[in-house]
Amino acid sequence: MTLRRPLLALAAFAATFGAIAADFAFRDGDRVVFLGDSITEQRLYTTYVEAYVLTRHPDWSLTFRNVGWGGDTAWLRQRAHPDEGRLFAAEGEALDGIVTNAVARGLGRDVLPHRPTVVTVKFGMNDHSYQKFRPDIFRAYARSQAEISRQLQAAGARVTFLTPQPIEERRADPDKDDRNLSLRQFSDGLKDVAAKTGAGFVDQFQPFMDLMLTARAKDPKAFIGGGDAVHPGPSGQLLMAWAVLKGLGATAPVSAVSVDAAGSKSSAEGCTVSNLKVSADGVSFDRLDAALPFPVDDRAVPALGLAPVLADLSRYTLTVTGLPEGDYEVGVDGETTLKTNSKALAEGVDLTRDAGAVTRQAQDVLKGVFRKNDVYFERWRGVQLYNFPGWAKGPEAETRRAAELQRLDTEVANLEKRLDESRKPRSHTFTVRKAK
């Protein structure tokens, strides 16, 4: 419990994003698939995106599946195994044939069976082959991305391309790294593909690069992503999710309560307030929200000091005016959650991380999403795609596979049912009392 700055200070920093959607990319009833490489397979940025949508829209019916695969590319290398020598040399009809076949095979097995209504596609890191820009590889990349968009849209899915984030070597000028210069060209080319195919586009490369450069200007040894140069850890992936969600049209407001202690009255947005009581030492009221604040992975908290993640994605606010000057304690259900002062309360404080039982409920949703996604990954990669050795193949092995798939499908369904229950907001009693 620490003294927090008012909301106005949190909103001071602004970042530039490649595309800000006019409307949120997700809708009630959506079946969402995240397609990508090892950075998607890490199940970090995708889990943060999923947790945002589930907590912000607790009444929506939604499913999310992650089919990221380490080492994969836009031509679905890991799923269809095309001859890359032929692919990079091909042009025209020859290129079309290779790409169409590879994409159809990969999507047909791993994506289309989910009957997706939304697919985010994040390739480029492996595609650029970790070297200077190569036009032959980019030609295959652009044609493959266009084919992914075409086939998914033909199946009824809304498609959004996500650029890769930059590589983060420990150097003062990551923007001069040949690999990042190549990734920038791949990303710019992807924007053109999106425009031509009617797909959405989110550039997370530049926001991440800007944050790296800002950090390096202060400390040449700064390393904002955690993990390794290619695979950011939780902090870096929260920064990625921040950029992705903003690009997908995510907004900040969760709910807001404003109390005029002097006039003994309140107003609310995104929630209802009841049982307002004003006394000489503060106020109390019951608050029932329509949504939960964005849950932040404890491992990713350092990201909050690098970008305005909460200011952009989670405004869960309380404003109290008319209080006598001095220090105050905010409490939820009898638990002191924030120490602040009358000036900050009059300007408004964000309680996303300081709402006690409310914050913990959102965190429990995040934990549930991680658990469900881990079980699905085991179902898909560990059982569905498991390749029995020759001596173990046969009807008995396939019968056991079918039984295990059914068991894991049931577990995923049960976990999703619990998620639906755990993300329903509950009523809580808030208090603002003079500090003792």
Query: How far is Cα 377 from Cα 43, in angstroms, rounded to an integer?
Result: 9
409 and 271 together in one domain: yes
Based on the fold, state whether residues 312 and 216 are members of the same structural domain.
no
Domain shared by 140 and 214, yes or no: yes
Report the predicted TM-score, pTM, of the whole model to 2 decimal places.
Answer: 0.94
CB 172 within 8 A of CB 124: no
Gap between the Cα atoms of 16 and 202, Å rounded: 11
Task: Flag whether pLDDT at 19 surpasses 80.
Answer: no
Where is the domain boundary, 226, 247, 268? Answer: 247
Dihedrals phi, psi of 380, to nearest 5 degrees? -75, -55
Count: domains in the chain: 2
- pLDDT at position 400 is 96
The confidence score (pLDDT) of residue 78 equals 98
pLDDT digits (tens, 9 = 90+) for 85-112: 999 999 999 999 999 999 999 999 999 9
User: 430: burial class by Cβ within 10 Å (0-12, 13-18, 19+)?
Assistant: buried
* Percent of the chain's residues with pLDDT above 90: 93
Write out the two tokens for 425: 């907001």
Is 11 domain-assigned? Answer: no
- One domain for residues 326 and 397: yes
**Rounded-to-integer distance, Cα 152 and Cα 141, Å:** 16
Residue 169 tokens read as: 């070597």
> Does 128 map to a domain?
yes
Q: What is the pLDDT of residue 436?
A: 85
User: Would residue 13 count as lying in a domain?
Assistant: no
Whether 69 is covered by a domain: the verdict is: yes
Q: Does one domain contain both 348 and 386?
A: yes
98 and 70 within one domain = yes
Instruction: State both tokens at 393.
Output: 């193949």
pLDDT digits (tens, 9 = 90+) for 176-198: 999 999 999 999 999 999 999 99
**Buried b / exposed e along 245-284 (16+ C-beta atoms within 10 A):** bbbbbbebebbbbbbbbeeeebebebbebeebebeeebbb
Using one digit for the tens of pLDDT, what is the confidence trace for 249-283? 999 999 999 999 999 999 999 999 999 999 999 99
Domain identity same for 379 and 398: yes
Residues 231, 336, single domain; the answer is no
Enclosing domain of residue 106: 21-247
333 & 265 share domain: yes
Last residue of a domain, one of 225, 247, 269: 247
pLDDT (0 to 100) of residue 10: 34
Helices 92-110 and 135-154, packing angle to 10 deg? 50
pLDDT at 14 over 80: no
